[in-house]
Structure 1
Amino acid sequence: MMRKLPNLTENFLGRAIAALETDAFAGLFFQWLMRCYEIDNTTMLAYFQNRPPELLFSHAQEKRVHEKLEDDYLTGAYLLDPFHALHIERAPEGLYRMRDIAPDQFTRNEYFSAYYRRTTLIDEVAYVAYPSEGVSVHVCLGRDASSGRVFSSRDMERAEQIAPIACALAARHWSNLRSTGDFRDSAVTEALQKRMEQEHGVALTGRQAEIALLILKGHSSASIAMRLEISPQTVKVFRKQLYRKCEISSQAELFSLMMPMLSSLEF
């Protein structure tokens, strides 16, 4: 007779499947993921077309990971997050690693300094699933100060192997989530234009607002030029015009000026 193995990964997967469409699912889902490879924390979010994200489940031993989640991230900082960009771009379902999708100057921008660095996250991946039209669920899994280690190549191989299962479970469990309308970066830039004129008397052009948002997300002039299909020199001209109109001289000042507005934009 075979001896029953303790903590068998498949047992936890079975429990998660049995708990689909119940309140116990998210916790059991995370327990299964933790036994597939080492994870320090999780943040499960749903992104919508017509409203801020919804926190579905979170867990972390390191309290700083989620310290500003509700006050900062869910109220507006999410608009600058590379994972939210996947939602806007309708990226294919699957596994994504923050370091692979982040803009080229992400670790040097103010969003990273003001919010992301404070979470102590060292490495982060996310399973992206689409449970219904206009909704994406991101099962974010991180390594933080509690372990101080990034995901290894073996971790990433295992994470990729189970991606179809993780995405299918997330899509099935949260299939009741609904969203309406259409959401693009243009909605943010248009709202920024309106608020800048209302609150500061600054009339930005659509292109200037668009470049402002890309700067805040962590894109360099070269990266912005590639995205907008214009020359880097043209980007620099628009950037100078933007700073002159806003009476600022740095990215830090741009962040301080616009971040409060991101938390109360109406789309």
Structure 2
Amino acid sequence: MGSETNLTLQDVAWHDAVGRLIETLDQPNFWTALVRLLRRYVPADNWVVLIFSSGKPQVLAESPGLDDGLDLLFQEYLKGLYLLDPFYLANREAPKSGLFRLEDVAPECFEQTDYYQRYFRLNVLADEVHINVQLDAERTLSLSLGSQAPFSTEQVALLGLIHPWVAALMRQRSVFEQELKHAPELPPNWENHLESTALQISSSLSAREMEVGRLMLSGCSNKEIARKLEISAETVKVHRKHMYSKLGIKSQSELFLLFLQAQE
């Protein structure tokens, strides 16, 4: 006797949809069609397709803003806020393919940062997942899905099941992306701008102080910063104290405002 095949209508629908999607690999509407398919299984309120590299992220496609206009908050992200994005930072620290949840990459104090309060919860909303495809040693193709509510365990598990299909389609699509052929813009030199913007600087910030400041703004606790930089937590506090003194500020919020000014 032959083995019994348990094929559901949902299985048939998925394979039919993927087949249709393959036909659009070289078409302008591919990314929209892919996200539309994913939304049948996992709700997403916004999305963007990016290339992460050592330079400024390159946008390949994104969900439209209000009235199909430009998403102004996302433009702030591209100007320099991406330097505080936990997904961007995690990818730069260890580029690799896979499915990543916000809780996988967010620093310990992420929800307490000005970046989270002033950008993430307004633009990305409550939760985010990324499907990453590492194209080479330098570049990672990333599909971000944002949601008004946290993704459930079941939804993340479902994304994990279909991830190999989606990643394969993304890799095949990369062949047709013209943006991949252009060199990415370099990140803004916000360190130098901080020094020229602050009014009460006694001397230049050291490279280590700048690194501590960036990690603080991204939501890393003193212990996380100490681990990443291989120094003690007490040394982190000393660097922070010196940085605040040189910049003439007293809080992380003031440092974030200087960071924003550096993008203008």
Task: Tell me the TM-score normalized by structure 2.
Answer: 0.83
Specify the alignment match of 2:5 in structure 1: none
Match of 2:57 in 1: 53
Counterpart mapping for 1:108-123 below 5 A: 108-119=112-123, 121-123=125-127
Q: Secondary structure at the match of 2:40?
A: helix
Give the aligned partner of residue 163 of structure 2. 163
- State the alpha-carbon separation in 2 of the partners of residues 241 and 231 from structure 1: 16
1:1-267 matches, cutoff 5 A:
8-50=13-55, 52-59=56-63, 67-119=71-123, 121-132=125-136, 134-144=138-148, 149-175=149-175, 176=177, 177-178=180-181, 191-200=189-198, 202-261=203-262, 263=263
Q: Deviations over 1:172-223 (max 9, x none)?
A: 212341465998xxx87xx344333344455100110110110111111111
Using the alignment, how far apart are the partners of 2:54 and 2:183 within structure 1? 6
- Deviation digits for residues 75-109 of structure 1 (CA, Å, limit 9, x no counterpart): 11111101111331243201000122101100000
Instruction: Give the gaps of 5 or more residues in structure 1.
Output: none
Q: Indicate conservation of the 8 Å contact 2:57/2:184, yes or no.
A: no
Segments of structure 2 that go 5 or more residues without pairing to the other structure are: 1-7
Q: Is the 8 A contact 1:49 1:179 kept in 2?
A: no
- Provide the identity percentage: 31
| CA deviation profile, 1:148-173 (whole Å, cap 9, x unmatched) | x3211111111111112211211221
CA contact (8 A) 2:209 2:243 kept: yes
* Alpha-carbon distance in structure 2 between the residues aligned to 1:119 and 1:138: 18
Deviation at 1:5, TM superposition (A): 5.5
CA–CA distance in structure 1, aligned partners of residues 191 and 124 of structure 2: 33
Relative to structure 1, the CA distance from residue 120 to residue 45 in structure 2 (aligned partners, 3 Å threshold; closer, same or farther) is closer
Amino acid at match of 2:26: E
Aligned-residue CA RMSD (Å): 2.7
**Deviation string, structure 1 residues 131-160 (Cα, Å, up to 9, x no partner):** 35522221111211xxxx321111111111
Change over 3 Å in CA distance of 1:120–1:228 after alignment to 2:
closer
Secondary structure, aligned partner of 1:21: coil
Q: In the alignment, residue 151 of structure 1 is paired with which amino acid?
A: F
CA offset at residue 232 of structure 1?
Answer: 0.7
Distance 1:21 1:114 in 2: 37
Distance 1:14 1:43 in 2: 23
**CA distance in 2 between partners of 1:33 and 1:55 (Å):** 19
Give the Cα–Cα distance (whole angstroms) in 1 for the partners of residues 222 and 185 of structure 2.
28
* 2:259 match: secondary structure: helix
